[in-house]
Structure formats: structure tokens, C-alpha cells
Amino acid sequence: MNKEVIKGSQNYIPVEIEDYPTTGWQKFKQVVRRSLGKELFVGLWVVLREMLKFNIHTVQYPEEVLPLPSRYRAVHKLLRLLESGNERCIGCGLCEKICIADCIRMETKEENGRKVVSEYSINLGRCIFCGYCAEVCPELAIVHGSRYENASEQRAHFVLKDDMLTPIDFLKEQKEFDGFGAVSPNADKLIKKTPLAY
Amino acid sequence: MDLGIFIFQTLIKILLVLLIFSALAGFTTYIERKVLAFMQRRLGPMYVGPFGLLQILADGIKLFTKEDIIPTNAIKPIFKVAPVILPVSAFVAFTGVPILPDIQIGDTTFQFLIVDSDVGVLFVLGVMAVGMFSPLLAGIASSNKWSLLGGARTAIQLLSFEVVTGLSILAPLMLVGSLNLIDINNYQIEHGWLIWQQPIAFVLFLIAGYAETNRTPFDLLEHEAEVVSGYATEYSGMRWGLFFIGEYVNMYIVSFLVVLIFLGGFGEGTLLDGLCYLAKVLFFIFLFLWTRAAWPHVRPDQLMWLTWKVLMPLAVINIVVTGLLVI
């Protein structure tokens, strides 16, 4: 049948498909091979081998959590400057403008000659997690965090300014955002060439 | 023996069988979920209790407290009584199975076998086969097309596999010359395990046993992919649970029978023999779970093809050859 060698560096394995039996004798041989030969007992052996190896793939979710790639777009965070601990947000309003779901609102006021953001909220009921706000932000202040467990009693949870802003005590644990288009750390390994036989 | 003591002893034994095997049926569901999970690289139930052991309890509470729904168009008396038939027939069949060898304490012998009948094998297989009425009636009475299909498949399975069960076991019985399970067991002390003399009968009986207990690869009655849940589609709560207690008790009966008839049973009845006996039974329970993890289901037409065109001729040939050798 179709046993073309697929070119390229990737390890695709072509499946071998035997010809279907046409005569009675061939059908009989197939039945014997399947019931007495490899197929039934190989199946038994494979599952037993997996049981003995005990190579369990289960992630026991609430206790164990898989790491998220840096491009993941979960609930937003507002970051602080690492040196001074001041809020990065300068209240420019670009995120509010670019938001296509129209869900970001901010209030600003003047304090000691500086523009200060007093209120900042994202309506998660409308947010489509497109990531434009994080992309447009000139100060890398609003970013997407990795908080995807957002079941809550109220829609407004997580998304008021106090919820999103890094608490000043946890400044050291604040992780820098890799950038909106950042690839995951193991991206090189995951890449495969498309199998095209040029 | 005094009649009063006899009745008292029998009642105790019945109670023991009932309690032990309804508990074991529940525990086997847990073992099944774990074994299937390990074979599929999963962990299975883990949250309720240590290693999910209390999952059985949680399932029990769920089954007992769930609403018992009876569909409007169902034939109510039959719908209600159908789930009872399977566990009742299974437990009654168990009275003919010696679950442990006799125990000698001082001068008195304590016999674990409840009904020491001279037609033991016939009794057990016959009463077990009555259990097939349960899915049949349930499927017909539910007024649901999936249930009806499941019920129809019960009839197919009954017609196909009872023949093989009977014929396959005939050859070893001809060698032994008795239908008493204890006699069969004692015969193997002298002549060695019957599996060496009757390997074909062993395989046929095992296959037929899988069909009798509705286990993969012959669980057509409740093929999820084809007929939703087959005969049990309309059942909920403890009525559904009864079907499953019956199914798991039947698994134990088939395992006990296979070990007793073909694998030497409990031999001479020493402690070591008794332990070996239980270990062999547990291996066959494991085999039920193992095949479930590995093998696909068969279609009803494949089942009938297999039975009538392959297994039955094999069984008949086996009987003829055995008969010639015995003569």
C-alpha cells in the first residue's frame, strides 16, 4: 500500500496497513492470526506491561498544577516597579482605548503634580482575553497573569485594582512578563517541520 | 445431626455468604476501577479516603439515597421486580459453591458448602442462567428502545452461550463421572488438574463464562457505544445497583467454578490448599478486569458466529473425542 518515506527530520511513523483478505482461505488465516496469534495476546501484554511499569500520567489537579507557558492569557495583573515599588501604570489610558470588548475603565487624578491611577477595573464578564491591553501598554504595567482558577461568588472579584496590583509585601516574588509574543521555554524542542515531500 | 442445629448453621452460612459477597462485589468495583486505571496509566479513584478506598462507601451512599425513577410507560410490577432476579439467582447459585474447604475443629467438621447436592454443577449453572431473565425482563418492561435492544441481546446471548456452557463442561464431567463439585475436586487429587486433560473445554467454559456474566468482550447487553446502557438505561439508584451486585457475584461464581472444575479446586483441603484456592479465584477475577482493559467488544452477529460456528462444533468434537477415549 502507501509506504512512501516521509522526508524531513521529524519522526513521523507511517502506519502499515495490510491488504484486506479477499478469498476464504485468507480470511481464515486472518481469523487464526488474530485469535491465536499476536493480536489478542499482544493486547493483553501491552496493558499488563503498562500496569507493571506504573508510569502514571495523571496530574492530581488541585494538589499538582501543570506549569503554564508565558504566553498564556489568564486574569490580568498590574505590576509594580521592582526598584521603588511604585505602580508602573502611568494612567495613559491606552488599554482603555484599545480594548475591543470595552471592558477596561480607569479613573485618574493629580497628586503632587503627578498623574495617579485611583481606580482601575476590568469587567471579566465582557473581557475576551485578547491580550491587546498587555500588548499596547508602554510601561509593561498591565499583563496577563497565570490565574485561571477564576470561579467566584461575584463577577467583580479578581478585577478591581487592589486584586490585580502586586501587593507591596510580595514585590520580590513579582515575575517579569516575558512579553506578549514570548514563546514557551521549550519551544525549540516542540517544533516540527510540516511533512511536505518537495 | 439435630435439625435445629442444622437449620441454625445453614442460616449462619447463608448470612455469611450474603454479607461477604455483597461486600466483595462492592470492593471488586473499586479493584476494577483501580486495575483499569493502572492499565491505562491513570490513578483511578484517589480522593475519598486513603488511595480512594472509601469510594465504595461514597458510591453506596449515593446509590441508596438516589431517587428511584420509574418511567411513566414502563410496566411497573415487572420493572420493579426485574433487578431483584439477578442478585437473587446469583446468591442462590452461590449456595452450591464450596467457597472454602471443610474445616475440622476437634471432632466436628464445619462445612462451608451450603447445599451439598449430587447435581451441584447443574444446580449452580441452572440457577445462574435464571439470572438472565433479569436483563431480559428489565429491557422489555422499560419502554425504552435502548433497553429493548439490550433485552433482545440478552435473548441472543442466552441462546448462544448456554449451549456452549453445557457442552463444554460435559467432557470433563464424563471423565469424572459425577456432577458433585466435591467429587470433581477429589477426582483431581488423584488424576491431576482437569485443565491438562481438557484444555479445550477449559477455554470454551471460560469464554462462555464471560458471556454469562456480561463481561467484556461479550458485554453486548450494556454496550455504551451502541445502546447507551442497554437494559439498565432507565434504572437509577439501588435498582441499578442490584444489577451490578448480581453481575459481580456472578463473576465470583464463574471464577470459583473454573477453579473447582479445571484447576484442582481446594485439593486436599489443607490451609495452604485453601489459600491457593482463593488465590486462583482472585486470578480469574483479575483476568476479567485484564481482558476488559485490553480487548474490544464484539458485535452481536460476531457473537453468534463465534458461538454457533466455532465454539459449539469445537465443544461437540471435544465431547466425541473424550467419549472415544473414555470407552
- Residue B61's identity, in one-letter code, is I
Check whether residue A53 and residue A88 sit in a common domain.
no
- Under a CB-based contact definition with an 8 Å cutoff, are residues A187 and A71 in contact? no
Cis geometry, peptide bond prior to residue B217 (ω within 30 degrees of 0):
yes
Residues A83, A170 within the same domain: yes
DSSP one-letter string for A74-126 = -EEEE-B-TTT--B------HHHHH-TT--EEEEEEEETTEEEEEEEEE-TTT
Q: Which residues of chain B have pLDDT under 50?
A: none
Query: In this structure, are A95 and A139 located in the same domain?
Result: yes
Distance from CA of B65 to the nearest CA of A (A): 28
* A49: closest CA of chain B, how far (Å): 8
- CA A53/CA B5 separation, integer angstroms: 53
Q: How far is CA B91 from CA A58, B124, B175, B178, B219, in A?
A: 38, 10, 29, 23, 21
- Asked whether the CA dihedral B220, B223, B227, B233 is positive or negative, the reply is positive
> CA of B296 to nearest chain A CA: how many angstroms apart?
10
- Beta strands (DSSP E) in chain A are 75-78, 104-111, 114-122, 142-147
Contacts of A49 (CB under 8 A, 6+ apart): none
* Residue at A194 is within a domain: no
Chain A residues with CB under 8 Å of B39 CB are 47-48, 50-51
Enclosing domain of residue A31: 1-57
- CA B163 to chain A, closest CA, distance in angstroms equals 21
Distance CA B295, CA B313 (A): 24
In the predicted model, residues of chain A with pLDDT beneath 70 are 1-11, 179-181, 195, 197-198
Q: How many domains does chain A fold into?
A: 2
Same-domain status, A48 and A88: no
Residue A189 lies in a domain: no
Nearest alpha-carbon partner for A157 in A117, A125, A132, A116: A125
Closest CA to B165 of B191, B201, B195: B201
Reported ipTM: 0.78
Residues A39 and A102 in one domain: no
**Cβ contact B322:B175 at 8 Å:** yes
Contact B43 A58 (CB under 8 A): yes
Residues A82 and A176 in one domain: yes
Q: Which of A48, A57, A60 sits opposite B41 (nearest CB)?
A: A57
Summarised one tens digit per residue, pLDDT across range B207-265 is 888 888 888 788 877 777 777 888 888 888 888 888 888 889 999 999 998 998 888 87
Same domain, A3 and A38: yes
Q: Distance (Å, rounded) from C-alpha B209 to C-alpha B215?
A: 9
In a 3-state reduction of DSSP, which class is residue A143? strand
Q: Report the predicted TM-score, pTM, of the whole model to 2 decimal places.
A: 0.79
Q: Does residue A15 belong to any structural domain of this protein?
A: yes
**Residue A99's pLDDT is what?**
92
Q: What angle do CA B256, B257, B261 make, to 5 degrees?
A: 120
Cα-based angle B232, B221, B96 (whole degrees, multiple of 5): 90
Round to whole Å and give the CA distance between B265 and B193: 9
Residue B290 forms contact with A (CB below 8 Å): yes
Residue in chain B nearest A39 by alpha carbon:
B295
pLDDT at A11: 67
Using DSSP, state whether A11 is helix, strand or coil.
coil
Task: Say yes or no for a CB contact (<8 Å) between A54 and B42.
Answer: no
Contacts of B290 in chain A (CB under 8 A): 44, 47-48
* pLDDT for position B173: 87
Residues with Cβ < 8 Å from B73, sequence gap 6 or more? B143
Asked if A58 lies within 8 A of B35 by C-beta distance, the reply is no
Domain membership of residue A66 (yes or no) is no
The answer as to whether A193 is a domain residue is no
> Which residue is listed with cell 420493572?
B79
Q: Are A144 and A72 in contact (CB under 8 A)?
A: yes
How do A142-147 and A114-122 pair as beta strands? unpaired
pLDDT at A5 (0 to 100): 56
Q: Which residue of A has its CA nearest to B38?
A: A51
Q: Are A163 and A80 part of one and the same domain?
A: yes
Per-residue model confidence (pLDDT) at position A1? 41
H or E stretch at B64: helix B55-65
B145 — phi, psi (to 5°)? Answer: -70, -35
> Are B213 and B251 contacting, i.e. CB atoms less than 8 angstroms apart?
yes
Buried b (16+ CB within 10 A) or exposed e, B60-98: eeebeeeeeeebeebeeeebeebbebbbbbbbbbbbbbb
- Domain residue limits, chain B: 2-326
Selection from A137, A107, A134, A111 nearest residue A119 by Cα: A107
Interface of A with B (CB under 8 A): 40, 43-44, 46-48, 50-51, 54-58, 60
Whether residues A93 and A133 fall in one domain: yes
Cβ–Cβ of B39/A48 closer than 8 Å?
Answer: yes
**CA–CA gap between residue B289 and residue A74 (Å, rounded):** 42
Instruction: Please check whether residue B122 touches A, CB under 8 A.
Output: no
DSSP A153: S
A80 and A166 part of one domain: yes
pLDDT digits (tens, 9 = 90+) for B164-186: 888 888 888 888 888 888 888 88
Helix (H) or strand (E) holding B135, with range, is: helix B133-141
Residue B185 to residue B183: CA distance in whole angstroms? 5
Q: Inter-chain contact A57–B38, Cβ cutoff 8 Å?
A: no
- The pLDDT assigned to A2 comes to 47
Judge whether B19 and B31 are in contact, CB under 8 Å: no
Strands (E), chain B: 103-105, 108-110
Residue from B40, B286, B306 whose CB has the most chain A CBs within 10 Å, to mutate:
B40
Phi and psi for A133 in degrees, rounded to 5?
A: -60, -45
Look at residue A9 and tell me if it is in a domain.
yes
Please, what sign has the CA dihedral across residues B218, B222, B223, B224? negative
Grid cell for residue B160 = 448462544
Identify the domain boundary among A57, A85, A101.
Answer: A57
pLDDT of residue A94: 92
Nearest by CB: B39 against A40, A50, A57: A50
Q: Are residues A22 and A110 in the same domain?
A: no
CB B53 within 8 A of CB B30: yes
Q: Does residue A67 lie within any of the structural domains?
A: no
Residues of A within 8 A of B295 (CB-CB) are: 40, 43-44
Return d(Cα B2, Cα B229) in angstroms, integer.
50
Q: Which of B38, B46, B295 sits opposite A51 (nearest CB)?
A: B38
For residue B286, the model assigns a pLDDT of 92
pLDDT at A181: 66
Residues in chain B closer than 8 A to A57 (CB atoms): 41-42
Q: All 3 cell numbers of residue B100?
A: 472454602
Among B230, B223, B220, CA closest to B146: B230
- Residues in A closer than 8 angstroms to B38, CB to CB, are 50-51, 54, 56
